[in-house]
A = this chain, B = another copy of it.
Amino acid sequence: MADWQVISGSVTAPRGYRAAGITAGLKPSGLPDLALIVSDVEAIAAGVFTTSVVRAACVDYCRQRLQAKHSARAILCNAGQANAATGDQGWADALESAQLLAEALNIPPESILLASTGVIGQRIKMDALRAGIPKLVAAASETGGDAAAGAIITTDLVPKSIALETMIDGRPVRMGGIAKGSGMIHPNMATMLSFVTCDAAVSTSLWQEMLSRAADKSFNQITVDGDTSTNDTLIALANGQSRTPAITEMGADAEKLEAMLTEVCQYLAKAIARDGEGATCLIEVQVSGAHTDEDARKVARTIAGSSLAKSAVFGRDPNWGRIAAAAGRAGVHFDQQDLRIQLGDFLLMENGQPLPFDRKAASNYLKTAAAGAYLKEDTVLIAVSIGNGSGSGKAWGCDLSYDYVKINAEYTT
């Protein structure tokens, strides 16, 4: 039973946040391309970043900032240029961006965090940014969350946002999140960005722990094409403006807060997977019976990322063999005699043996599930058990369609 309710308002649903999204002229398309989230007071800040050794300047910048102090007032995000592989000049541009916003907000530059998405190897268009920042600050409002969500996307088909509310100590605590996924029509735009705001009062170390665990169960469990970006960034702020007691250790309140954070991250992660390039449906892979949750997540991720399994789902083909083969090569040890595979309600394999099943009905399940007639969402469910362990985990992906190839092949640099 979920302990929260969905509310409106995106990242500006929690108290004490303003946000904005404007067209600064960074994107050639003329669409919104500059976003701001600002907290009225210094907020606890946690972050999870790309593990790639080829990283954008903003990623190195945020890591340094959060190492020095675990708090921030504002997040600035530009879309259009990734500012990755741009060397010393890119680093100088990042510093200047923070300085400009700090002056406009009249706060120290140390309280600014940065994110960029766009073409690798391209610097931020600094003239447009310089002109845009005062307008961006002027546009910031307590209803600006959706505008921010719209300004961080690149080739995503839809903006992605959510807001939730729960009760802690008799008072409402709110959390909002926005995200962008991997749209690759332009070269190298495969960046995942997400920003979460919350008005709870929580200790810095606990907040970072919660965010890392939530990321492991959400953004780290989605795959569109297996490619990790130079710019992947997840930042979460908690500004204490709910006036609830400070959460400083694990316990009922902390668990409630972490569950809500995990839900926000999973909702956004699934939205990214569903919006994968050329995707016609979301694939949810549930793995159980593993020794550890980590093992289960690894198997789930491998299945969700298998080009063969993804192609089979696109073809609405109940091809359990491809699921079994992907599970087997995940790098997790299990006995193949324990393998059990279920597709929706269809049990396809048990005790490592294929079972007779109605192929036409199973294919029909794929058709209706992908069309949203099964779970009221366009979700295909694959459930796999690999033994008797207590480890379980989920991963999400999308099917592999002609349009994925079209989108990624037909753009010419």
Contacts and interface: CB of A to CB of B under 8 A. Distances in A.
Given A307-B227, A315-B411, A322 B352 contact: no
Contacts of A195: none
A165 interface: no
Interface string A222-261: 0001111110000000000000000000000000000000
Select the residue from A228, A327, A328 with max chain B CB neighbours within 10 A.
A328
B121 A315 contact: no
A227 B325 CA distance: 8
Contacts of A188: 319, 321-322, 325
B352 A87 contact: yes
A382 to B, nearest CB: 15
A325 B363 contact: no
Interface in A156-188: 184, 187-188
A388 interface: no
Contact of A402 (B51, B119, B324, B405): B405
A399 to B, nearest CB: 8
Contacts of A368: none
Count of identical protomers in the assembly = 2
B85 A228 contact: no
Select the residue from A119, A314, A325 with max chain B CB neighbours within 10 A.
A325
Nearest to A331: B51
Interface stretch (A96-104, A196-204, A282-290, A333-341): A333-341
A227 B304 CA distance: 12
A412 B363 contact: yes
A228 B190 contact: no
B317 A187 contact: yes
Interface string A292-334: 0000000000000111100110111111111011111100111
Contacts of A329: 50-54, 227-228
A314 B412 contact: no
Contacts of A229: 325
Contact of A400 (B306, B324, B405): B405
Contacts of A187: 312, 317, 319, 321-322
Contacts of A87: 337, 351-353
A23 interface: no
A308 B190 contact: yes
A184 to B, nearest CB: 6
A406 interface: yes
Contacts of A322: 187-188, 227
A55 interface: yes
Contact of A307 (B318, B408, B412): B408
Interface of A is mostly: loop
A317 B227 contact: no
A120 B54 contact: no
Contacts of A325: 52, 54, 120, 188, 190, 227-230
B412 A401 contact: no
Interface in A385-409: 400-402, 404-406, 408-409
A127 interface: no
Nearest to A188: B321
A169 B402 CA distance: 56
Given A52-B329, A401-B405, A413 B317 contact: yes
A107 to B, nearest CB: 31
A54 B317 contact: no
Nearest to A403: B405
B412 A317 contact: yes
A134 interface: no
Interface in A73-122: 84-87, 119-121
Contact of A336 (B51, B85, B404): B85
A335 B55 CA distance: 10
